[in-house]
């Protein structure tokens, strides 16, 4: 049996849904920094095959925080529509 690297979570059981298995992927992350929301592309993560929960190494999270704080890394701007929920349900 081949031994996994210490930081490889591929195949581990999801700790949120306890059903899915984690797969190494790269994708889009939405990162809040102060009052801003920064979209960061191509971020490495382990993603649950069942519920979609994403897991990151601490070093990846720190890098996302650094990218969000440093406006020099921003490559483009997006316009995101915002709506407010209006329903009859009581809070």
Residues 26-34 have a mean pLDDT of 91
Q: Could you give the strand order of the β-sheet that contains 36-48, starting from the edge strand earlier in sequence?
A: 22-33, 36-48, 54-55
What is the model's pTM?
Answer: 0.75
What's the maximum distance between 2 C-alpha atoms anywhere in the chain?
A: 57
Q: Is 89 within a domain?
A: no
Q: How many CB atoms lie within 10 A of CB 14?
A: 20
- Full domain range(s) for residue 56: 1-83
Pairing of the two strands 36-48 and 22-33: antiparallel
pLDDT in tens, 40-75: 999 999 999 999 999 999 999 999 999 988 877 778
What's the number of domains the chain is made of? 1
Q: Is 7 within a domain?
A: yes
Q: Is 90 within a domain?
A: no
- Does 89 score more than 90 pLDDT? no
Distance CA 40, CA 65 (A): 10
pLDDT, residue 91, reads 60
Q: Is 26 within a domain?
A: yes
pLDDT, residue 3, reads 55
- Domain of 67, CATH number, reads 3.10.20.860
- Please tell me what DSSP assigns to residue 72: G
């Amino acid at each position: 049996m081949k031994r996994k690297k210490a930081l490889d979570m591929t195949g581990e059981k999801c700790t949120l849904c306890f059903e899915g298995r984690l797969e190494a992927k790269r994708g889009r992350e939405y990162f809040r920094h102060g009052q801003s929301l920064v979209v960061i592309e191509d971020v490495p993560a382990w993603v649950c095959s069942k519920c979609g929960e994403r897991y990151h190494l601490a070093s990846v999270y720190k890098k996302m925080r650094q990218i969000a704080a440093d406006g020099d890394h921003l490559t483009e701007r997006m316009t995101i529509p915002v709506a407010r929920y209006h329903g009859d349900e009581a809070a």
